[in-house]
Amino acid sequence: MAKIVRITLLLRKRDDVTWSEEHPKIWLSVPIVKQNLVKYSQFHADEKLDLAATGMPPVAPFDGAATMWAKSLEDLHAIFSDPEYNRIVVPDEEKFLKRAEAVPMIGWDEVKFVKEDSSGVLRFEQPNPV
């Protein structure tokens, strides 16, 4: 099975705006984005949750993350270097993000289990071959 490349950008937003509704419309209006991405999602952090009682470390100091999946690193590179992307998407991001503070992570998922249905049956996956 081919690996799907995943990039997750840990993000800090400007305090005065939101990014949940309008940005995906702008992002997905660029043809190369729809052509090269397999999946796109946003993760919105809830800073009100306190993990202190769980023994876990403090929550990371980010407002959320944007995650994109593509068939190759080249497909992602083509998106981020596309003139239309840079003309349309980047200026929109600058309206709501602190772009210079974004932290990327890139790699692939190794799904170990997925809950199949409401019966609680788990399907175990083998790691992707390297």
Query: Domain-by-domain residue ranges, the chain?
Result: 5-124
Percent of the chain with pLDDT over 90: 42
Asked if 20 and 42 touch (Cβ cutoff 8 Å), the reply is: yes
* Dist CA 90 CA 26 (whole Å): 10
* Dist CA 91 CA 58 (whole Å): 32
Question: Looking at the domain covering 5-124, what would its CATH class be?
Answer: alpha beta
**Average pLDDT of the residues in 115-121:** 66
Find all residues with CB under 8 Å of 17, minimum gap 6, and list them: 95, 96
- Mean pLDDT score of the chain: 83
Distances (CA, A) of 102 to 13, 42, 113, 123: 9, 14, 30, 34
Lowest mean pLDDT among 14-18, 52-56, 60-64, 77-81: 14-18
Asked if 9 and 101 touch (Cβ cutoff 8 Å), the reply is: no
Residue 71 has pLDDT above 90, yes or no: yes
pLDDT of residue 130: 42
Answer whether 0.85 is exceeded by the pTM: no
Residue 34 has pLDDT above 50, yes or no: yes
